[in-house]
Amino acid sequence: MENAVANAIRVVALGNDGDGIAQTPEGRIFVPGTVPGDEILLVDQNGTHGTLDRVVIPGVDRVAAPCSLFGRCGGCRIQNMALPALLDWKTGRVLDSLQRVGFDAIPTPQAHQVSPHARRRVDLAFRRVGKEIVLGLHRRRGDVVDMTECTLLDPTLFDLLTPLRAMLHSLPAVHTGGDIQINLLDSGPDLLITMDGTPDPNDRRILAQFGKAHGVPRISLQARPPETLALTGPVFHHFDDVRVMPPPGAFLQPARRGAAFIKAAVLAGLPRKGLKAGIIELYAGCGTLSFALAEQAKVHAYEGDRAAFACLKQASGGTRVLPAQRDLNRQPVMATDLAKAAAVVLDPPHAGAGAQIAQIVAGKPPCVIYVSCNPVALQRDLTPLRQAGYRLDSITVIDQFLWSAEVESVCVLTLPGKNRRNRR
């Protein structure tokens, strides 16, 4: 044991992907499955990556992983770290990005974390292996690992997996395998399937029987656009009190409480007065935030995806949401329009807001509320806003991707001098 301790190396931090970082005489290396404070031994080292042999002395935040598939299933990268410490690390990632932006003052963030068994959307792969269907997530750079347990999924989704395996096994159109996206809507699970064969009437019959038996009102085939294979009941979801019919594979925040935390932070960031000028919402999707914002003011909601826009437009009648279809990467909302808004709310994709940021900077709306799922893009997009004089008023961090490196945040920025409206 003394020799092992003497030869051990110490993990000093987590990298952006959730792998532990250890400092060796040869330089920094990344070691999956480790947490800060661990004293470890390696099996081998290949350049900047090492393979863990064993933990000699565990770090204070190391815990036993709650799932026996941890280390094989590719769904959770950091299950061996206590959840409070994981939230602190994710908060630190966001704060580090904001510090790199160069704000004069960074407010103390509010931080929230969802509970286990709360995930309501998942993308899975399935493969025929012998006489069985293996259904789950890919191991890291490897094959599909059968999801025989899961600490992430809502029980309604997890309980669906066993009959789903049997149904997929019976489908003639499934030759070797495919992929399946599942959204847990208010109307029940919504399935979008990719398979390596062409479904015929017999496949559709099997799918319809499955849908009726297991409360799955719609099953669709991944195509351009998606094709409905079986429709056995109404498909709907609610954003606030507005009922929408999301398209197959629609974007949902992964957890209900996570969505609620984001919405609360966005609404709290709106100006107290002057909202008659209206709100411009960019990347509105199916209306995740639109209808809540419309309870405060008129909302000009822009969305580029055709199916999401159609859903938003259909549901917006009788509300103060004014939807417009627009590819914001190719045709951003212009500065002259943004300048007239009381607030601009944007929830861009993982890559960030791209060309839209330059127009926000030029338009100088008094309040910008940025919802981010990527600290790197957040830093890139907020840097020109800070250079234009915006200050950072509040930060909310939301961990709704438990045991992963993913983190959401909501940043509220205002322009001193131009922002003459009282804050909420």
Query: Is 281 annotated as belonging to a binding site?
Result: no
Confirm whether residue 303 is marked as ligand binding. yes
d(CA 82, CA 412): 29
Q: Which residues of 130-250 form beta strands (DSSP E)?
A: 132-138, 144-146, 177-185, 188-195, 218-221, 227-231, 237-239, 242-244
Q: In angstroms, how far is CA 321 from the centroid of its own chain?
A: 24
CA atoms within 13 A on the CB side of 59: 22
Query: CB-based contacts of 158: which residues, under 8 Å, 6+ apart?
Result: 117, 147, 150
Among residues 124, 121, 126, 122, the alpha carbon closest in space to that of 196 is found at 126
Sign of CA dihedral 76, 77, 81, 87: negative
User: Nearest to residue 253, comparing CAs of 287, 299, 226?
Assistant: 287
Q: What are phi and psi of 334, to 5 degrees?
A: -80, 160
Q: So which residues are the catalytic ones? A: 373
**Tokens describing residue 170:** 């019976």
First to last CA, the chain: 59
By three-state DSSP, how is residue 390 classified?
coil
**Spatial distance between the Cα atoms of 273 and 35, rounded to a whole number of angstroms:** 46
Q: Torsion angle, CA of 147/140/79/128, rounded to 10 degrees?
A: 0
In DSSP notation, 36-102 reads TT-EEEEEEEETTEEEEEEEEE--TTB---SSTTBTTBTT-S-TTB-HHHHHHHHHHHHHHHHHHHT
Contact 302, 284 (CB under 8 A): yes
Could you give the 3-state DSSP secondary structure of residue 139? coil
Amino acid at 12: V
DSSP, res 312:
H
Q: Which residues are known binding-site members for S-adenosyl-L-methionine?
A: 253, 283, 303, 347
Q: Which residues are known binding-site members?
A: 253, 283, 303, 347
